[in-house]
Structure 1
């Protein structure tokens, strides 16, 4: 995991630099200043941290329930061998390496870099919208993971799907599995968050970032099938969740910014009156 952390850090720095054309290390200064100067941002940041912490311990809670339902046969009955056919049609060893990189590294880097790019662009609305959208994605997905368990496509023998992740990342099950349960498929968070990031970037006015997120999100969504992880229904549900999260994220961010700006103006008027 040390190598993944280093690769992710380097990728975040590169993405912020390309997306903003500014010194990526200035994000640290902007982040600290935002935490110290904006109570709204502090609350949002802590809320995102909390939902991610809840997601981390979701597997332990799920195990404690001893809930035995399994919706995988139902999904396979609807889809059949689509994922297997897609894998066989596109299989290429070099493509496998590229898609593993996007699934493991680019996905998480894109999420962090988005906030960094918007901070350097001084786009408070999209910083807030991204935070809200992240929380919505996880808040909706976690109950489904607990109550509607669906196993990854490769783990369901009748599907004939191969887990190509192990071709490039042989220790995936040991290093990555504790972060994501085998039956946490529906909806696909890789899809929902990628779609969320892409749709928010489309509103940013930053053409470079729009292109980067559109290409990356498309590749990531393709990778969930090629690597043998998700079903099509997972992707469809994830897409709906991503559209919903980005829409609500923008809506709540607008309300928050308007309220915050109103409070600042009110305090400014009070200071002027007192002077």
Structure 2
């Protein structure tokens, strides 16, 4: 029941923000043209179907094999927590100390709600756009990010700073919204920190927003702010190490580059 209520709240907030962004960022004439031509909508859906389908397969595999991946990682995965801590030490504690306590509300909101909005809105915007190329790149890059995450989470076992050094790093998200674990536990485990998918997917959105900044200038500005906030939130909330964030940025760069190549050659 609690999961249903929380999911409903997140859905309502996300839909409101998506509608708000649509008003701010989308060309009304383009939206009107699309809504008045059902055949055009069908044509575009058919065009992106292979890319959306592959992403769907990866997402289903990620969800369906979650327990298998966890069990396998416990058997063959490299325990990297101590290594990561040896590399960066208490950097995350330093990050947390650099922000006033009130910022935790902002970072928590961005981590939970802003993240979903950041991933969904560009798909809407690029679907309305004259060219579907960037939507195809976006969907392909999403799939590559998740596929890369599956591989890394299988081969690398790592616990976040809030779990490894709780005496130095706090967990504001759980302190402010303890029930949020009811939702997050459905899609993630506390050993899935390297790389940070919140970082990789946020940077992926930013990279493609950069490509389309002339067509969607307002979205580029908003995406820059949101993606930066989400990347910072992963450390400010004590969830990820700096190493996880750097790895996430690298995964995003590879995913966008490969996604672009795949779309251009298809």
Of 127, 142, 148, the match for 2:150: 142
Of 221, 228, 231, the match for 1:211: 221
- In the alignment, what sits opposite 1:254? 264
Does residue 163 of the first structure (1) align with residue 171 of the second (2)? yes
- Measured on the aligned residues, the alpha-carbon RMSD in Å equals 2.4
Displacement after TM superposition at 1:169 (Å): 1.7
Q: In structure 2, what is the Cα distance between the partners aligned to 1:29 and 1:167?
A: 48
* CA offset digits 1:4-39 (Å, max 9, x no partner): 121112222222332214389868888995555654
Which consecutive unaligned segments of at least 5 residues does structure 1 have? 257-275
Change (3 A) 1:240 1:63: closer
* CA offset digits 1:105-127 (Å, max 9, x no partner): 11111111101111122231101
- In the alignment, what sits opposite 1:15? 21
Displacement after TM superposition at 1:229 (Å): 0.4
- In the alignment, what sits opposite 2:86? 77
Structure 2-normalised TM-score?
A: 0.87
Q: In structure 2, what is the Cα distance between the partners aligned to 1:30 and 1:75?
A: 53
Q: In structure 2, what is the Cα distance between the partners aligned to 1:82 and 1:251?
A: 36
Between 227-236 and 8-17, the greater mean CA deviation after superposition: 8-17
Q: In structure 1, what is the Cα distance between the partners aligned to 2:35 and 2:195?
A: 33
User: Who wins on radius of gyration, i.e. which is larger?
Assistant: 1
- In the alignment, what sits opposite 1:273? none
Change (3 A) 1:241 1:30: farther
Q: In structure 2, what is the Cα distance between the partners aligned to 1:4 and 1:158?
A: 28
Of 140, 151, 163, the match for 2:159: 151
Structure 1-normalised TM-score?
A: 0.84
